[in-house]
Amino acid sequence: MLDVAFIRAHLDAVKANCRNRNVKADVDRVVQLDDERKRLIQEKQILEQKANELSRSTGQAIQQAIKGEKDPERIKEIKARIAAEKGAEGKELGNHIAALDKRQQQIEEDLRAAVACIPNMTHPDAPVGTTGDDNRVIKKWGEPRKFDFTPKDHVALCESLHLADFEAGASVAGQKFYYLTNEAALLEIALVQYAMQTLVREGYTPVITPDVARVEVLEGIGFLPRDPDPEKRQVYAIADTDLCLVATAEITLGGMLRDKVLDEKVLPRKYVGLSHCFRTEAGAPGRDTRGLYRVHQFTKVEMFVFCTPEQSEAAHLELLRVEEGIFQGLGLPYQVIDTCTGDLGGPAYRKYDLEAWMPGRGDGGAYGEVTSTSNCTDYQARRLNIRAKSPERKGTRFVHTLNGTAVAVTRALLAILENYQQADGGVTIPEVLRPWVGKERIDPRSLPKA
């Protein structure tokens, strides 16, 4: 989240940023709530000072009243009378302070909720726009393949080669679940190994994360697990717990260091995490989202970086370079998108997407998103309370966090099947994956489904 002091100091810029991002947030209410919070704190401090003064004056009044008095019973009576007189006043002050404290807690909760609705600021070079049409293509790599036969989409290929069973998945778990079978199962393992090995060579620490996380961790990353609107929530909550299934290892990798103070000398800290991802995907279905493109569960290899503010721009470009290298190694044509303001998620300061060419998408092929990488500056770290210290600086400051998809298996698998299909109905396996799959191609066959 943004710092309240920053919002107050840059009110017009924050409002303009919300408009550019097409986000409805009551920025003025943040200022009003912060004003009320400050007023309550000041009023409570005055009353607490009065209570302290009353306590001191009670003792002084008793000492003055019993001065020279010798009779123990009389002294006892005087003490009791003064204590009763002052006690009533003290009780009234105490009740007032307690009421103010309760009110302050409520205001602080409301303030936190209001601030949480305000998105991160945006990189000045990000394109301004409200729809996907406003995204900017900044690079293209590879040429879409020209087929000398009519190419199939991945759903037809999965059916003919017995690589996925969508019917069994729907029967067992519901729509948008699936079984990967035969070489598709091996390709998932191969893609995970390929991505993990690539990132380890780049100096990233490999991690297998939990597939669940606490609600407050999801909120810290920028998800809305408590939102009653399923299109905004996008995650599965586990009944009778404070846990949710994770939608990405970004959640668990980011939460791994919450409430920690890091040494700036060892930053950046770079991780590559493996997890299953679970998403409600409440949006409307369509031809371009069928099959493996948009599903409720998939495996993903995710990159995550904790760094100083000075390092985050270079770290973001590194994540993009690694993503590009992975897809170049797979031999899949792609384009890089500089995401417009209206398509940015709340925490992202800037986001790049990789869109791979998918011959079965749309009419005659189209690019479809396969990875993204976001620089979230200190937006997530402020929520998760992740700070860094340096001997050259007094106090601590919030770190910057960045994330990027190395491989989302279902999207990469889709692109491989469609781009590497052959006229005889088989599929050539990308060379970099063959050591794990154990063969060069998937041959046509007429086997019974697994």
What are the residue numbers of the active site?
279, 294, 369, 372, 411
DSSP bridge partners of 302: 273, 405
Check the CA dihedral 226-229-234-239 and report its sign.
Answer: positive
Query: Dihedral of CA 317/318/323/328: which sign?
Result: positive
Sheet with 269-278: list strands edge to edge.
136-141, 334-338, 350-358, 366-375, 400-408, 297-307, 269-278, 205-208
Start-to-end CA span in the chain (Å)? 48
Looking from the CA of 144 toward its CB, the CA atoms found within 13 Å total 16
Return d(Cα 389, Cα 398) in angstroms, integer: 9
Task: Please tell me the distance from the alpha carbon of residue 90 to that of residue 106, in angstroms, as a whole number.
Answer: 24
From the number of C-beta atoms within 10 Å of its C-beta (0-12, 13-18, 19+), residue 383 rates as buried
CA-CA-CA-CA dihedral for 118, 122, 128, 130, to nearest 10: -30
CA distance 284 to 342: 19
Instruction: Report the SS3 class of residue 430.
Output: coil
Least Cα distance to 134 among 425, 300, 341 occurs for 341
360 vs 127, 155, 353, CA distance in Å? 29, 9, 20
CA–CA separation, 255 vs 211, rounded Å?
Answer: 12
For residue 332, count CB atoms less than 10 angstroms from its CB and return exposed for 0-12, middle for 13-18, buried for 19 or more. Answer: buried
